[in-house]
Chain A
Amino acid sequence: MQKQGGGSEIEVTWEDQQNINKFGRLNNRFHEIEDEIRLAKEANENLEDASNELILTDEEMVRLQVGEVFVHTPREDVENKIEQMKEVTMKNLEKLEEEKDSVVAQMAELKKILYGKFNDSINLEED
């Protein structure tokens, strides 16, 4: 993301600088989204596991963790609660995927502009 030293003389304008800043921001956000997506997927898998376990159990009272304690809760209530939580995480995941697509598209657009002007005097790739 940094301008590479090369000694080539291409003038950098304030507009270019703003585009570089924007690219930097998007790149940061991209990594944040990737992390958030990973966490959301994990949460989803955990909920999936929990509901599978619930199907197998024949206990009527299940201990559900709320805050720091385990609350004795009827199995049916827990099933409903898990379904609700799954819905919330799924929606969240969808939203994140959408945002990721938009970020990727904007970055591609900026890459076109910046590479168009600076060619190989600028490096916008990771590593």
Chain B
Amino acid sequence: MDYSLSSSSSSSSGLVSERRGIPGASFVEDVQMYLHQLGLDVNSALAFLQERLQQYKLVEMKLLAQQRDLQAKIPDIEKCLDIVATLQAKKGTGEALVTDFEVSEGIYSRARIDDTGSVCLWLGANVMLEYTYEEANALLEKNLENAKASLEVLVDDLQFLRDQVTITQVTIARVYNWDVHQRRSKQVGTTVVGDS
């Protein structure tokens, strides 16, 4: 296949060529021209488009998994912020925070958390660091903000991807329809002589 041709293939207008590694699907104005430019017959064009569609579906699954992860991460961070706020509210009162916590599944014990003014945050990679409430709060807020921003970008990526899927599906239907139409007029052409 000639790549210089396929990349400039079809007269598409106002299309994004790619977004974060996802190739854009080109809109086909004229099916016959499209096939001619690609130098493909109907079956190979359909096979090519189907393959592209499968690739899109694969990327969609990957992005959806990422989206689910982020959507789970956000409430987790919010939970952490909640407990830091609870500790902070007790600060300076001199009272200890009394909590029941899970020791093992279904087994609870009671803990008195004295007002020490600090919490330890698990940073990952087996590292835990002690922070003041204010610092912990700031760090968690920043994490929350980042997670929300990533989610937003991801949602945009998914929307872009779905547009490409829709374009490809429509193109497949049109190539198919064009072929059916082509065959039909050929049939008419053989029975009724003189039909151009």
Contacts and interface: CB of A to CB of B under 8 A. Distances in A.
A104 interface: no
A29 to B, nearest CB: 9
Interface of A: 1-9, 12-14, 17, 20-21, 24-25, 28, 63, 66-72
A28 B13 CA distance: 25
Contact of B82 (A3, A7, A21, A67): A67
A67 B170 contact: no
A7 B7 CA distance: 28
Contact of A24 (B12, B100, B108, B163): B163
B101 A24 contact: no
A67 B83 contact: yes
Contacts of B163: 21, 24-25
Given A2-B169, A21-B163, A24-B162, A69 B101 contact: yes
Interface of B: 12-14, 27, 29, 79-80, 82-83, 86, 97-102, 108, 111, 159, 162-163, 166-167, 169-170, 173-174, 176-177, 180-181, 184
Nearest to A70: B100
Contacts of A1: 166
B180 A3 contact: no
A66 B176 CA distance: 58
B184 A70 contact: no
Contacts of B170: 2-3, 12, 17, 20
Nearest to B183: A7
B102 A68 contact: yes
Contact of B166 (A24, A69, A70, A72): A24
Nearest to A6: B177
26 contacts: A2-B169, A2-B173, A3-B170, A4-B173, A5-B173, A5-B176, A5-B177, A5-B180, A6-B177, A9-B177, A13-B29, A14-B13, A14-B27, A17-B27, A20-B170, A21-B166, A66-B82, A66-B83, A68-B79, A69-B99, A69-B102, A69-B111, A71-B98, A72-B97, A72-B98, A72-B99
A12 B74 CA distance: 42
Given A3-B173, A17-B167, A69-B111, 6 more contacts: A2-B170, A5-B180, A17-B166, A25-B159, A69-B99, A70-B100
